[in-house]
Amino acid sequence: MIIIICVVGVVVLLIILCACIFICRRRFLLRKKVKDIIQISNHQNSKDQETDEWELTWDDLLTKNQQLGTGAYGQVLKGVLLEKSRHIVRDKYNEVAIKMPQRYADEGIKKRFLNEIQLTKLITGHNNIVKMLGCITVGERICLVLEFCSYCDLLHLKKSLQFNLLQNANQTIKEFLIFAWQISHGMQFLTSEGIIHRDLAARNILIDCDKTAKISDFGLCVQINDKHENSPSKNILILKTGKLPIKWLAIESLKNAEFSFKSDVWSFGMVLYEMLSFGEIPFCNVQPEMLIEHLEEGKRPNKPDLCSNEIYSIMQQCWDETPSSRPSFDELITTFKVFLEHATKGYGYLDLLKSQTPSTD
């Protein structure tokens, strides 16, 4: 009898011990699960905060009916960023440009637009890059909110500059030189970030109320890992998709779909041509299918009437058939700085040059 009681007691103790082990293990696993959930929640909150850094809602915006620009896949409307938004531009009017895909845009277009938003986040802040103020990426209606540039783009500004040319030719030429110098700075910054623009043209250079040139429209941009402009082949991309501006493309881009920092330099030469010809389209009399043959024969846009021999020489260097023979944006910055110093010497414009030195915020 005593033996039976002892056996039963041992069994009960074993059962209690097993139950304790089971309960303790269950509590341990429960604590671990709760800890993991908290970590995941904190990580998600951190990600949400990063998103909130830029994310707006349509309640933060007032859209006007004024269209600033339009294209095959998107449009840009003028709007107002309301005061309750943290992204309001201090000490300036809160007018903004709202870029969005067309309502009928397919998922592919929306995906490319979202990629443009992500890229714009990386490069905003430089004085010669149009500033991003926010975005809406949640829901059906997505958009990118940018600073509003009151002088629109270089193509629109050329009309007033053409009138000013009759009044003061020297001042007009100096403004062109300042724009060229500022665009060089913006492009040098993109190069330092490993970004090839691929759509550099006067229509994509915005001019703000202070007459500062700002590069915009990064929908065709690509980013590469190698940021060294002079590395032999690592900075060349072969891209055969996308709708591209044929008349502004480098010869290697047209022939082999090759894009690099130096193909952007070619396009920069076309921007100079647009400025100094007051908006004339490059190769306007050449059919697109004949353009490669035209370039292979060594033909380039003619020197505009307003253009000096020195500046036209810079254009021709930008249009060299061999990419490595083209100047870098660093070299172009130096070149236009010298031009400006010569142009402003003795006319009181040197202070203007110094006051407009590009900077990063």
Give the distance from CA 224 to its chain's centroid. Answer: 14
How far is it, in rounded angstroms, from Cα 135 to Cα 50? 13
Which two tokens mark 323? 């990419």
How far is it, in rounded angstroms, from Cα 70 to Cα 102? 9
**Residue 199 appears among annotated catalytic residues:** yes
Strand (E) positions, 2-87?
Answer: 61-70, 74-81
DSSP class per residue in 217-277: --TT-EE-S---TT-SSTT-EE---S---GGGS-HHHHHH-EE-HHHHHHHHHHHHHHHHT
Torsion of CA 88, 90, 94, 100, to 10 degrees: -50
Question: Exposed e or buried b for every residue in 110-140, given b needs 16+ CB within 10 A?
Answer: eebbeebbebbeebbebbbbbbbbbbbbeee
* 311 CB-side CA count, 13 A: 28
Check if the beta carbon of residue 135 is closer than 8 Å to that of residue 117: yes
Check if the beta carbon of residue 343 is closer than 8 Å to that of residue 352: no
Which residues touch 36 (CB under 8 Å, ≥6 apart)? none
How far is it, in rounded angstroms, from Cα 344 to Cα 165? 17
Q: How many CB atoms lie within 10 A of CB 308?
A: 14
- Candidate list 153, 199, 217, 320, residue with the active-site label: 199
Across the chain, which distance is largest between two alpha carbons, in Å? 124
Strand partners, 132: 146
As annotated, the active-site residues are 199
